[in-house]
Chains A and B, each alone.
Chain A
Amino acid sequence: MDFFVQELVNGVTTGALYALVALGFSMVYGVLKLLNFAHGDLYMIGAFTGYFVIQWFGGPSALTIPVPLLLVIMLVLAAGLAGGLGVAIERFAYRPLRNAPRIAPLITAIGISFFLENSALLLFGGQTRVYNTPDFISLSSGLSIGPVTISTVQIMVLVLGAALMISLQLLVNRTRLGRRMRAVAADREAAEMLGINVNMTIAVTFFLGSALAGVAGVMAGLMFNQVTNLIGFIVGLKAFTAAVVGGIGSIPGAMLGGLLIGMAESFITGYVSSTYTNLIVFGILIAVMLLRPSGLLGRAQLQKV
């Protein structure tokens, strides 16, 4: 039972990360109907940003500034960089293809993902970078309820993740910007005719979604400690599926999907075998996509002719 609860905690934390990435995926898919394969690589960029911020301020064991300030700088910088990059990608590569056949932006997205991965390889090298989180956030400082321990980093990921998701939900449902985003997602042409600045709205959506991926990257670096140029691919894949499992375009759906996938992964690793984790998760995902393509919280859409 203790083991079960521990795995549950780990699963929920990983799931929160997936959910953050999935949110961005889902938002972008909502407004552009585009599968942004490069989204996972923005998560990678965020993780690298966090790593270099730590190095800049003296390295993990000899920090020159207080830890909370460091965390804020890491998160803000990563969010800004990933968000800016996301906007640049949209402006540069996706906007000219808005009216092209569906397959063209998809292949462009694959090209961008490949470009980003290998540019990171060129710039940062192929070796694994290590955050060394335990050096500045003590492992023993977390909560322990009986035999179950929750580390400080995990608490931080959960709290920040929940806060971001709630504020995003409020943003989309309660503000003028959110209303514009929903309008563009529902019907781009009609939105344009009603005087909504569609390009601006799409750019803002890209910024928000990509910034979330950047934040998730920093949190993943803090939690898993390791950063390479290839971490984005699989996470992007799982995040997309999280978005699909929950129902694409739906924000609560993306959160639910992320949590489910995180927990599934954690339980398979804990109870079955870590060798087969990815294989089994992929199998589950394929099954979900085949059996319920509209997702758990999504509604089946009628095909418009």
Chain B
Amino acid sequence: MSIDQPPASPPPAGPPGGPQVGADEWVARQSHRQEQLPAWLRPAQQLAGRVGWWPRLAIAALVAAALPALGLGGFQLQVGINALLLAMLALGLNVTVGWAGLLDLGYVAFFGFGAYGFALLSSGQLGSAGIHLPAYLSLPVVMVGAAILGLLVGLPSRRLIGDYLAIVTLFFGEAFLEFTTNVAPGTLGGANGIVGIDPIQAFGFQLTSNTGYFYLLLILLVATMAALRLLDSSRTGRAWRAVREDPLAAASMTIPVSRVKLMAFAFGAVIAALAGTVFAAQQISVFPPDFNTAYLILIYAGLILGGAGSITGAVLGGLVVVITLDGFLRSPTEAGYIFYGLIVVALLVKLRPWRKLGGVVAATVALGFAAHAITGAISASAVAGGPQSSGWIASAVRDWVIVPASPKAAGNIGFVVLVCLLIALVQARGWWRTALLPPAIYLAACVWEARLVAEPSITRQILIGVVLIVMMNSRPQGLLGSRRVEVIT
């Protein structure tokens, strides 16, 4: 790992005859141990370093705004809306989890609260004629409500730390689901949810098209990012980070720890509720399962993938997760690009020198053809299935992967063996790891073509779980985050 490499340049020499004044020696040395990207990525890093954060935000916003005009429509636009929603939710979660370090597992309930709040205030659900508030009234009401709810849920954080807080908030999330499913079915709709919600309307103007919601979400997202950026460097932002690193030390520096924690909860809740209102208005309906634990874990996956603690990371992570899972995994052909692409990229990044990389690839290819030929010679039906996906990748691997005529049972066994093999691969060291790689890749391809491609919705959930496990074990700072200086006690 890069952290073990010697510093790129010697630490700045202090004034002769004594230690440097004003800088902790150890920290000064650490600042030189910044992460080294691979050589071919370094020019991009330098270029990005020259452009400030605000211009970058503006450029990204302009590019995103141009997308619908460039012909993004229908299904793609819906994926875009989902992606922006998740990015927004990951931003809010970043405040509570990434900055303040409070593990909030009931976060999705705030999203649901926003959605249900907006639904009640802009549909025929309450009273005989219903309430149909314009957006400039209903949005503030919902957001203030969410802030109060956030404070209430955050109250336990005054006493409970870490795991206990996680479990109390998880109960809160489950209680929200139970509440919306079972309590007051006349008003909240029970399992049937609330349907027929008004679109967002203000001053006689109604937002009805998906393009409109895309732009609304984009504006809200950019505004939230800007606000959080200012907040990050403010007194409150610094207080959050201080509390995350060491509550006791923060308290002795006169930071009001409890109040700061409550603020983090309230901020996260407000952002989630804002996303919820747009979600309800765009979907025209809300149902309790929209806010279940699976969605919570999706938000976490986005945040962790991008890097908790970083605004850009949270947004990019959210976008990437939704675009990959919703956009590409739906169609088997595009899912194949993602799957084989990820394998190739992982090999390119992780395997050095080139000779070893070439050896592994050649061994994998040879192993596949040999295994296919031998299995085919023994039993024709064992290779009769053919890939479950379609497209040019499927035809390219047709004579390479083994897919039996009834792929389900074989695929299941293969999946279990693959998981065992991957665990062994992680545990193995040195030569053994290289030797295990080709069979693991080959088996992964077989299981993919036999089983996973045919079950995109389950594959998607499995991938989310894998992302959380792998990221936490190999890159806890996320794809974009930089390694924090950790003081190990």
Contacts and interface: CB of A to CB of B under 8 A. Distances in A.
Interface of A: 29, 33-35, 88, 91-93, 96-97, 99-108, 110-119, 121-123, 233-234, 237, 240-241, 244, 275-276, 278-279, 282-283, 285-286, 289-290, 293, 303, 305
A110 B300 contact: yes
21 contacts: A35-B163, A88-B423, A91-B427, A101-B476, A102-B163, A103-B103, A110-B300, A111-B469, A112-B465, A118-B458, A118-B461, A118-B465, A122-B455, A123-B412, A123-B416, A237-B167, A237-B174, A241-B171, A276-B183, A285-B171, A289-B168
B178 A282 contact: yes
Given A92-B423, A233-B293, A107 B167 contact: no
Contacts of B156: 286, 289-290
Interface of B (DSSP majority class): helix
Give the interface centre of A96, A114, A279 by most chain B CB atoms within 10 Å. A114
A108 B473 contact: yes
Contact of A108 (B105, B171, B179, B468): B468
Given A92-B426, A101-B486, A111 B472 contact: yes
Interface in B408-453: 412, 415-416, 419, 423, 426-427, 451-452
A26 to B, nearest CB: 12
Nearest to B165: A289
Interface string B459-489: 1011011111100110010000000001010
B167 A122 contact: no
Contacts of B465: 111-116, 118
Interface in B168-183: 168, 170-172, 174-175, 178-179, 182-183
Contact of A102 (B162, B179, B423, B462): B162
Contacts of B105: 110
B304 interface: yes
Given A115-B466, A119-B419, A122-B412, A279 B182 contact: yes
A20 B303 CA distance: 35
B472 A107 contact: yes
B160 interface: yes
Interface of B: 97, 101, 103, 105, 156, 159-160, 162-164, 166-168, 170-172, 174-175, 178-179, 182-183, 248, 293-294, 297, 300, 304, 412, 415-416, 419, 423, 426-427, 451-452, 455, 458-459, 461-462, 464-469, 472-473, 476, 486, 488
Contact of B167 (A102, A108, A241): A241
A97 B415 contact: no
Contacts of B473: 93, 96-97, 108
B160 A293 contact: yes
B166 A106 contact: yes
Interface of A (DSSP majority class): helix
Contacts of B164: 244, 289, 293
B423 A122 contact: no
Given A93-B469, A110-B105, A237-B167, 4 more contacts: A97-B472, A122-B415, A122-B452, A244-B164
Contacts of B458: 118, 121-122
A119 B175 contact: no
Nearest to A276: B182
Given A99-B488, A106-B166, A119-B419, A278 B178 contact: yes
Contacts of B101: 103
Given A92-B423, A104-B476, A122-B455, A114 B160 contact: no
A283 to B, nearest CB: 7
A286 B467 contact: no
B159 to A, nearest CB: 7
Contacts of B412: 122-123
Contacts of A102: 162-163
Contact of A123 (B304, B415, B472): B415
A285 B178 CA distance: 15
A175 to B, nearest CB: 28
A119 B468 CA distance: 15
A236 B34 CA distance: 41
Nearest to A126: B458
Contacts of A99: 488
Q: List the 3 closest pairs (A to B, CB-CB), nearest first.
A: A111-B468, A115-B465, A114-B465
Nearest to B460: A118
Nearest to B175: A282
B297 A106 contact: no
A99 to B, nearest CB: 6
Contacts of B182: 275-276, 279
B167 A106 contact: no
Nearest to A273: B182
A96 B469 CA distance: 11
B224 to A, nearest CB: 23
A119 B163 contact: no
Nearest to B451: A122
A242 B464 CA distance: 29
Given A92-B426, A107-B300, A107-B304, A283 B168 contact: no
B297 A290 contact: no
A65 to B, nearest CB: 25
Give the interface centre of A97, A107, A276 by most chain B CB atoms within 10 Å. A107
B10 to A, nearest CB: 29
